[in-house]
Structure 1
Amino acid sequence: MPNGDPLAVRVGPGWLYIAPIGSTEPDDLTAPWAGAWTPLGYTDEGSNFVFESSFEDVVVAEELDPVAIVQTSRTATVNFALAEVTAANMQRAFNGGEITTATGVVTFEPPDASEAATPVMLGWESADGLERWVFRRAIQVGTVDIARKRAPDKATLPMSFRCTKPAGAATFKFM
């Protein structure tokens, strides 16, 4: 007879949040996200959290097999495609830029290539409220490829945020 916990099986796309670096992190599963955290809106197919590690063999002339295996790098990436094409989401996709509103028209202009990308914090919460992730420092490194197709296909803003280690903390937190 299987010995598992059906309540630990997770499904669903959940909800994404974004905040400036240094924003207050949630420390439980029930408290609302602090005011600095902004919902990113609908996604096309949910989110992917990708953790990749690289390892190298340590070899010596006297042995055929490696004498050790050492980790040489680790990356954490958060991938999603936002289904809401807004000026604010364009600004997030391009790591900055200028949003202006004049006579009811909102415009976005991307940042100059010389401007440094602005790192952000990302948060994710499951729809059932039983799981939260906080990625403490991330930069959008993905290609922005906005396809315009016939309905029912919709335009999306694909994004790939690569995480970097913040000072004095782990790259991410899972609750």
Structure 2
Amino acid sequence: MRAWAGFIVSMGLGCQGPSVRHPRVLELSPLENCLGGARSPVLVAMQRTPCEGACPVYELVVHADGTLRYLGVKFVKEVGVRTAHVDSVQLSRIRAALARVMIPPEDHDEYPCPHGVSHLGGVSLLVPSVVPAPVCYVDLALLGRAPMFEGFDHELDDIVDSGRWVGKSDE
């Protein structure tokens, strides 16, 4: 149930919060827009998009220097921006996971954004150094099915311990 990393993801959240009914993927993460841009290149960014139920909606951005930025939107324990640091061991694990599951640029068009299934939560990923636009897909793990990209999204959550912010929400 663990998966993929390395892509910038975003649903057009802006600094004031998301348009949950009309998500869209941007080239530059809204989190980065809110925080004034990156000091270091983006290694990977991931966004979890809304579903019909109480799916957590949030974004993670990991920079090459280890800066970790989180933007919690809805159905998460921590709403808003949080910043932390990822150590060299965690960065190595992220890079290894990316190398294992990286999709070739020629296969990129198979995963257009948005993912197209409006009632199911999805994942948007972008690896700026590999493909020019985000990759989007339905989070099949929510349906008890094998996850896309070997579950990289869940693996990234584990590596950076996003559970400290995502947790459970009463929303």
- Scaled to the shorter chain, the TM-score interval is under 0.3
Ranked by relative contact order (alpha carbons within 8 Å, sequence separation 6 or more), the top structure is 2
TM superposition score normalised by structure 1: 0.24
* Structure with max Cα Rg: 1
Q: Which structure has greater strand proportion?
A: 1
Q: Which has the higher helix share?
A: 2
